Structures are given as structure tokens and as C-alpha cells.
Amino acid sequence: MAELIVLGFKDEVTADKAIEELQRSQTEGLITMSDWARVIRRSDGKTDIKQAVGMKSTGAAGGALWGMLFGLLFLIPIAGLVVGAATGALMGALSDYGIDDKFIKGLSAQITPGTSALFLQVERATGDKVVERMAQYEPSLLRTSMTEEQEAKLRAAMESASAA
């Protein structure tokens, strides 16, 4: 089962650096994330949200492929491509997979201006190695979907890694 973990950072740029580290860790097989979102709460209070996968573009690409295939069957491949891409983009924009957008936006409003956060949907992780790599970014654990016992262990591991 996937766990939701929200990490907070002291400034606006650290979340971007941390997600790059997490993506390297994922490439190395240390963590498997099914989704992530990075939120920056600027000093003026505005938020900037970046998500791992844009469903609109993914839907458009899939729709274009299927539209073109159906268009080939009916001898109108260009029209099928255009209609399929438009339909796919619309369906992608209306879909919400992974971390709930409303949850991200709601919690983003509570983040202190001038800071950033990462919302991670983690399928699997080699906890000690990932925590060790993330310690340099000095994250604070804002929220999780873990049990209280699991959350306490994660907090303790993060604190000991930061102290080292």
C-alpha cells in the first residue's frame, strides 16, 4: 500500500533539489514513488505547484494515438489524430490520479510563505538509505498517512540523520 509523506523545507528552492535526489534514488531502486508534487509558497503568498505527471499531456498523447488508429481504419488519420488528442486532453484534465489535487492545494495554503514542500506517494523505500540522502536538505515531516508508530520511527530516523 502506498504511503503519503509530506516534507517541508526552510526555503523556496530546496524542494526542487530534494526531488532531484529522490528521482536519482528511484533510478537506483532505493525508493519507488507513484506520484509526487512540489509546492513553493512564495514570499508574496502565491503558490507554485509542479506535479510528476501532467494528466492533460498524457491524455492528449494517448488520445492522439488512439484517434489516429481509428482514423486509419476509417481513412481519415489526421482528423482522428486531432479529435483523439483533444478528447484525450479533456479526459486527462478531468482525471485525478495519484495525490489528490484538492489535498495538495488545501495544505499548500497552510505552508509558511518563503518555504516549500514535497508531497510524495511512496510505494516502497529502503528507508535508512533514503533518509540518509535526504538529511542534507533538512526536511521536516509535515504529514503522513502512516500509523503513529511508523511515523514516530520515521521522525526519529530523520532527526538522527540530521544530527549526524
pTM: 0.70
Which numeric CATH code is attached to 3-53+113-163? 3.30.70.260
Tell me the average pLDDT across 11-28: 94
Backbone angles phi, psi at 163, to 5 degrees: -70, -35
The pLDDT tens digits of the residues spanning 85-127 come to 555 554 554 444 578 888 888 888 888 999 999 999 999 888 7
Query: For the chain, where do the domains classified as CATH 3.30.70.260 start and end?
Result: 3-53+113-163
Give CA–CA dist 124/159, Å, rounded: 21
The pLDDT tens digits of the residues spanning 66-76 come to 555 555 556 55
Determine the pLDDT at residue 56.
45
The pLDDT tens digits of the residues spanning 44-55 come to 989 999 988 644
Q: DSSP per residue over 52-104, as a string?
A: SS-HHHHHHHHHHHHHHHHHHHTT-HHHHHHHHHHHHHHHHHH---SS-HHHH
